[in-house]
Amino acid sequence: MTATLSPSDIAKRASALRAAEMVEDGMKVGLGTGSTAAFLVRRLGERVRGEGLRIAAVPTSSGTAALARAEGIAVVTLDEAGWLDLTIDGADEVDGQLSLIKGGGGALLWEKVVATASDRVVIIADEGKRVAALGRFPLPVEVIPFGLRATMRLIGEALVGLDVEGRDMALRKAGDAPFVTDEGNRIVDLRLGRIGDPRRLGLELNRIPGVVENGLFTDIADTLVLGAADGSARVVDIAQGRFPFAGQDNVFGEVLG
């Protein structure tokens, strides 16, 4: 199978396969959205069919739910699950503090709700997603349709006082129409270049009326699985808890540098 994949897809698949080993029988598991997460779902489907693995899965999008059901995985709602043992999801960018940008697939709201309702959050990604500072990838912000122009103006005003390089934004489209999330909302993509303080930016964005959630995931990820183009994967596990590092000298940088 790997012979038909691009180097990037080989790396994504490697990270997904390694993370799939962390899923144990009887677990309640959050399943992420995106191309890397799709490799995970397919591998878990193989384990369900081949090993008799029993899990209750909470998908983070309607697309992931459809794929999980097609793979024979039992799908439940988060309310039915109550709380999750583990969530495995991808990322569009990850920095040395395990802060993330997510939402390239438009599922950031469900992804953040599911992740924060989990005992452990594992992020799967290829090496290309690792960055020194977040912001090169456009930051998605989910907003309600009502008052969309006013909300975008307020977002622009908030960015003026924050540590970012750029302040361009655009309403995400699906063809000629606005992209619509699973909750019926819209996505505004912010092209910031560099985000100096992800935590503060996330808090300030969520204070704006009309903003539902943003794609900055800080203090959420516990473990990172990075896949490489040679099919290998390495795990960085933050055993001390979420966001344990302050300053430039941190174990994460030493392990991945």
> What is the average per-residue pLDDT within 157-183?
97
Taking the complete model, does pTM exceed 0.85, yes or no? yes
Return d(Cα 229, Cα 235) in angstroms, integer.
15
* 28 carries a ligand binding annotation: no
Task: Give me the residue label for tokens 């003026």.
Answer: 160
Distance of CA 66 to the CA centre of its chain: 18
Return d(Cα 152, Cα 195) in angstroms, integer.
18
* 104 carries a ligand binding annotation: yes
Distance of CA 13 to the CA centre of its chain: 16
Residue 178 structural domain: 139-215
pLDDT digits (tens, 9 = 90+) for 111-147: 999 999 999 999 999 999 999 999 999 999 999 999 9
pLDDT of residue 237: 81
Same structural domain, 51 and 6: yes
Same structural domain, 27 and 93: yes
Same structural domain, 120 and 144: no
Task: Give me the residue label for tokens 């933050």.
Answer: 238
* 105 carries a ligand binding annotation: yes
Same structural domain, 178 and 231: no
Same structural domain, 25 and 113: yes
* 111 is annotated as an active-site residue: yes
Helix, strand, coil percentages in the chain from 3-state DSSP, rounded to 5 = 35, 25, 40
pLDDT digits (tens, 9 = 90+) for 48-83: 999 999 999 999 999 999 999 999 999 999 999 999
**Share above pLDDT 90 across residues of the chain, in percent, rounded to a whole number:** 89
Q: Letter for the amino acid at 68?
A: A
* 116 carries a ligand binding annotation: no
Whether the predicted pLDDT of 250 surpasses 50: no
In this prediction, residue 255 has a pLDDT band, given cuts at 50, 70 and 90, of very low
Of 71, 111, 142, 213, which is the active-site residue?
111
Do 109 and 142 touch, CB atoms closer than 8 A? yes
pLDDT of residue 238: 72
Q: If you ran DSSP here, which 8-state letter would residue 138 be given? A: P
Return d(Cα 169, Cα 52) in angstroms, integer.
47
Return d(Cα 233, Cα 80) in angstroms, integer.
33
Same structural domain, 188 and 115: no
pLDDT of residue 103: 97
Same structural domain, 61 and 160: no
* 36 carries a ligand binding annotation: yes
Q: How many residues does the chain have?
A: 257
Same structural domain, 10 and 122: yes
Give the CATH number of the domain where residue 110 resides.
3.40.50.1360
* 90 carries a ligand binding annotation: yes
CB half-sphere exposure, 72, CA atoms < 13 A? 12
Same structural domain, 74 and 110: yes
How many domains does the structure of the chain reveal? 2
Count the Cβ atoms, other than its own, within 10 Å of residue 111: 30
Closest CA to 103 of 91, 88, 94, 114: 91
Give the CATH number of the domain where residue 188 resides.
3.30.70.260
* 91 carries a ligand binding annotation: yes
In this prediction, residue 239 has a pLDDT band, given cuts at 50, 70 and 90, of low
Same structural domain, 107 and 155: no
Task: Give me the residue label for tokens 């516990």.
Answer: 222
pLDDT of residue 107: 97
Residue 44: in which H helix or E strand, if any?
A: helix 35-51
Same structural domain, 68 and 125: yes
Return d(Cα 17, Cα 40) in angstroms, integer.
6
Same structural domain, 15 and 120: yes
